[in-house]
Structure 1
């Protein structure tokens, strides 16, 4: 105790916080709860039971480290009851060399949501050729619950080896839904979606929408950086997009104004802290979980104990927020 008191004396002045930095999203209620002594209650999402509201967003596939990364992510998903989306499985459509990079259902367990991932350009090609059964076969062989379709027209346009998207993605998604036997999630890759795109998707029978909102990893910027001769006239395309906060408000408005089939969202893109995710989760009018891809990737590159400790801290912070914070009226 004496050491602690010495720390308090030495650190007191350094620990002051500028009153201008107060987080006005919440009312702090310190009198109304004890410290949490149990985990969150399990809840239903995507037809499975999750234990914590964190989604391991799609990140990597077909690379040398993919098997190691995916195995660690699947293990932590199992231990903490999380959902998980694989990185792009495109390589599996062309070769049998990388199946072991993605086959981690036995690690994550059958009780938690687990989805494969393909780009809209690949899906468009398969729909045009009448080969949607290849997507179903992919899910069967990986034992995934369905497919995440990532929508990335800007990324493809700026990618030196990018594919051309020939049809509006909403039309391709509609055709896929008519033919596939598996649930479909639709996500963006770092710039989010506007009102009309969200409205069109919410009217379809997609299992969920993942935001991939502006503020996190931006794949348009990434592809611009990869170009040998980037042109300054096009660099501002990376600054276009919609934040996760804006998208939650748009989804709330759409679900109030019109009948929708999609009833769940994965809030991802620019979620820098547990309080960011907690706030957006609480103001969403439909069920949601929180995706923080960069954080999971960062810790999955370390040993498993670092990844486990990170998720453990996330879960503890979420419980503290549940017990002591109330969202202010918006």
Structure 2
């Protein structure tokens, strides 16, 4: 199977396997504010990721590219949506284009469709400095995501089996590239131990990419004769990964992603300390099933719901939202308690 065929396979199986809703975000409940002292016009959805400014606190996270005309069209559509809604967009791994120049157009179309927008390049942790620079140049990218996908690679029939030296390679990229380096998990979560290591090498941001959304182990198992079923439930759910990571971050911004499905999920992630939230599977499904205009309308509804929720909490900004009290219960409470994280502070913020 060629790399391009594999990319198309990933899209097909991502749509068919869906999202598990095992993010543990349902274990979080806000404390109701009967006197919120806020109104619609006073709410700002603007957020910052380092020096990058987002008009809304969410963006289109990495999905595709490198699969010929089909992925080129998907990326073109996503880029037009990001331009129309003034939200950033990340492309899928560009290694396909570095290996086969015929695939470059499936990525570069993003910059053509959105010439002034915030665009993230994307490569795996095996990337060299030269490859990363070429990926950035391909898109005139504002930042680059370096994705971590050990479990996917292990489950992938033709995947990598060598992962040593990744942290050192990422540190070299941080030091050598002239754009921010964002490190992103691809659906299995970031632990606090990993987050500390990444902060120590001065990455620009960490995307926790938690368990509960598109499951790349399940996708790769669909492509295997002998299933590695033990990886299908592997990983740190998004809410747990987000709290683990933010609990040890002092200066490094954190991005939440992994099974985020609607505005309430986004607000919960922001309240837990995320600077921004990445959406992928839910937007891909909407785009494929209902089209470009319907996806734009869905994003508009998300923005309206975000504003509605922030008014209800008396939060006029993302910073104020991150002071909203919330209650953590269920499996999430049990997991985080065993990990030694004090959850009482979340319930008594003001």
Q: Shorter-chain TM-score: what band?
A: 0.7 to 0.9
Could you say which residue in structure 2 is the equivalent of 1:321?
309
Could you say which residue in structure 2 is the equivalent of 1:275?
264
CA deviations over 1:248-267 (Å, ceiling 9, x no partner): 22123213xxxx55x21210
- 3-state SS of the aligned residue for 1:28? coil
Could you say which residue in structure 2 is the equivalent of 1:76?
81
CA–CA distance in 2 between the matches of 1:303 and 1:148? Answer: 27
Shift of 1:197: 0.8
What does 1:1-330 correspond to in 2, within 5 Å? 25-29=29-33, 32=36, 36-37=40-41, 40-63=44-67, 64-103=69-108, 104-110=110-116, 112-121=117-126, 123=127, 126=128, 132-230=129-227, 234-255=228-249, 260=250, 263-284=252-273, 288-301=275-288, 302-325=290-313, 326-328=324-326, 329-330=346-347
CA–CA distance in 2 between the matches of 1:46 and 1:99? Answer: 28
Could you say which residue in structure 2 is the equivalent of 1:8?
none
The alignment covers a number of residue pairs equal to 290
Shift of 1:283: 2.2
Return the index of the structure with the highest Cα Rg.
1
Could you say which residue in structure 1 is the equivalent of 2:319?
none
CA–CA distance in 2 between the matches of 1:99 and 1:223? Answer: 24
CA change 1:41–1:268 in 2 (3 A) is closer
CA–CA distance in 1 between the matches of 2:45 and 2:196? Answer: 31
Shift of 1:39: 6.8
CA–CA distance in 2 between the matches of 1:120 and 1:23? Answer: 32
Native 8 Å contact 2:260 2:278 kept in 1 = yes
Unpaired runs of 5+ residues, structure 1, are 1-21, 127-131
Could you say which residue in structure 1 is the equivalent of 2:11?
none
The list of structure 1 runs, each at least 4 consecutive aligned residues, that deviate by more than 4 angstroms after superposition, is: none
Native 8 Å contact 1:243 1:270 kept in 2 = no
- 3-state SS of the aligned residue for 2:147? strand
Greater shift, 27-36 or 300-309, is seen at: 27-36
CA–CA distance in 1 between the matches of 2:80 and 2:203? Answer: 27
- 3-state SS of the aligned residue for 2:40? coil
Native 8 Å contact 1:265 1:288 kept in 2 = yes
CA deviations over 1:101-147 (Å, ceiling 9, x no partner): 2122243343x4311111223x1xx3xxxxx2232122123211132
CA deviations over 1:231-277 (Å, ceiling 9, x no partner): xxx4122222112211222123213xxxx55x212100122332122
Native 8 Å contact 1:136 1:182 kept in 2 = no
Unpaired runs of 5+ residues, structure 2, are 1-25, 314-323, 327-345
Native 8 Å contact 1:281 1:289 kept in 2 = yes
CA–CA distance in 1 between the matches of 2:113 and 2:220? Answer: 33
Shift of 1:200: 0.6
Native 8 Å contact 2:208 2:245 kept in 1 = no
Shift of 1:315: 0.3
CA–CA distance in 2 between the matches of 1:300 and 1:184? Answer: 28
Shift of 1:89: 0.8
Shift of 1:30: 5.4
So what's the TM-score if we normalise by structure 2?
A: 0.76
Greater shift, 58-67 or 310-319, is seen at: 58-67
